[in-house]
Amino acid sequence: MVCSVTDASINETSRPVVDPSACFLWIMAAGTIACASLLQGPNSGTNYRQDKPIIEITAKRAVLLLVVASLFLILRFYFMSSWITWLLIVTFCISGSEGMHFCLVTIISRIFKDCRNNTVQLPLYGEVLTLSLGVVPFCTVFAILWAAYRHSSFAWIGQDILGICTMINTLQTERLPNIRVASVLLSAAFVYDIFWVFISPLVFHESVMIAVASGGVSGEAIPMLLRIPHFFDPLGGYAILCFGDIIYPGQLIAFSYRFDRAGKKGILNGYFLWLTVGYVVGLFLTYLVFFLMDGHGQPALMYLVPCTLGLIVVLGWIRGELPHLWNYGRRPENLVGEVEM
């Protein structure tokens, strides 16, 4: 599920000029992308089945993903029933616990390298790290407790932890191969975001994205988002940022980190630092327009795509590296004539 609404409430009220909640969201979003990028490697730091195969995103897969996301938005918009809500909750808990498992095993095994050598044999599964087996109950219980107490005032903490782990896991396993595919993915996401936030009211009489993200008449907001309470707002509510606003630009930023590392580039003459800065600037512009428009939900990718994809294209062109970025990782024989997307 992809959502790009920065407003968790349909109640349009004036917000403080400086919203600490928005600042925390910026830190969490940029930190999630930075952590996922820095954790990249030939493997996660372990030697067994915890190392998942890398899924290389293709242009067809990118377009198909957004088509499926659009269909799901329509389904959720028209059928906000309890079974769909529970399906989302269960899916979020599974992906969140899996992501938390990945993060914990990766970090602990990198700090305590001896953990990589302690394994146990499981029937029908084979050799598994003892650490991995020990972490499973904690991750499972954490996700179940969040689901049970998701309506409590502190549930946003657990939701954000599970969400961040999910996105880090996604950014580790699904990767962009080059700027060519990134252009297809982010351009499609750019149009997708604008349509479902700004244009959909002309067809559906209200913004589908905002209605789905806020829960509509059901009152059960989708869990696939980061949210932080407006601590200093007397009217309450939450500042939210949906997963798509982090994952899509994050995949490009993660690619820039791999590109810099492969080319042995420094911090200043690489792309990773500048794209991370561009992402933060894009979020700033999103919230700036959000406040200027009196709290109307904004399609964050409308600002994030130019500040990330546009930035790497301009930098690559200035440095004379755009053809290399565009064709990075492609075989020479595929560069002649038509290329299957």
Q: What pLDDT, on a 0 to 100 scale, did the predictor assign at position 51?
A: 57
How high is the pLDDT of residue 75?
A: 84
Task: Dump the DSSP string for 28-43.
Answer: HHHHHHHHHHHT-SSS
Angle between helices 301-319 and 179-194 (to 10 degrees): 150
The pLDDT, as a whole number, for residue 239 is 83
Give the pLDDT of residue 332. Answer: 53
Other beta carbons within 10 angstroms of residue 72's beta carbon come to 15
CA distance 45 to 105: 9
Q: Which residues have a catalytic role annotated? A: 193, 245
Q: Which residue carries 């490697």 as its tokens?
A: 41
At 213 the pLDDT is 78
Over residues 103-155, the pLDDT tens digits come to 999 888 888 888 777 878 778 777 788 888 889 999 999 999 999 999 898 99
Report CA dihedral (159, 160, 166, 169) to the nearest 10 degrees. Answer: -150
For residue 251, give the amino acid letter: Q
Task: Give me the tens of pLDDT residue by residue for the chain, a chain 341 residues long.
Answer: 333 334 434 344 444 566 788 888 889 999 999 999 988 765 444 444 445 678 899 999 999 989 998 998 888 888 777 778 888 899 999 999 999 999 999 888 888 888 777 878 778 777 788 888 889 999 999 999 999 999 898 999 999 999 999 999 999 999 999 999 999 999 999 999 999 888 988 888 888 888 887 766 566 778 989 998 887 776 677 888 889 999 999 999 999 999 999 989 988 999 999 999 999 999 999 988 888 877 677 889 999 999 999 999 999 999 999 999 998 876 554 544 443 43
Residue 218, pLDDT score: 61
CA-to-CA distance for 131 and 125, rounded, in angstroms?
Answer: 16
CB < 8 Å & 24+ apart, contacts of 21-27: 21/228, 21/229, 21/230, 21/231, 21/238, 21/239, 22/239, 22/287, 24/228, 24/239, 25/226, 25/228, 25/239, 25/240, 25/241, 25/283, 26/280, 26/283, 26/284
Give the pLDDT of residue 341.
36
Interatomic CA distance for residues 124 and 110, integer angstroms: 27
Amino acid letter, residue 190: F
Give start and end residues of each alpha helix (H) in the chain.
20-38, 59-78, 82-111, 130-148, 155-173, 179-194, 200-204, 208-214, 244-262, 272-292, 301-319, 322-327
pLDDT of 174 reads 92
Give the model's pLDDT for residue 219: 63
What SS3 string covers 312-332? HHHHHHHHCCHHHHHHCCCCH
CA angle, corner 313, sides to 311 and 314, nearest 5?
65
Burial class (CB in 10 A: 0-12, 13-18, 19+), 250: buried
Q: Is the pTM of this model over 0.85?
A: yes
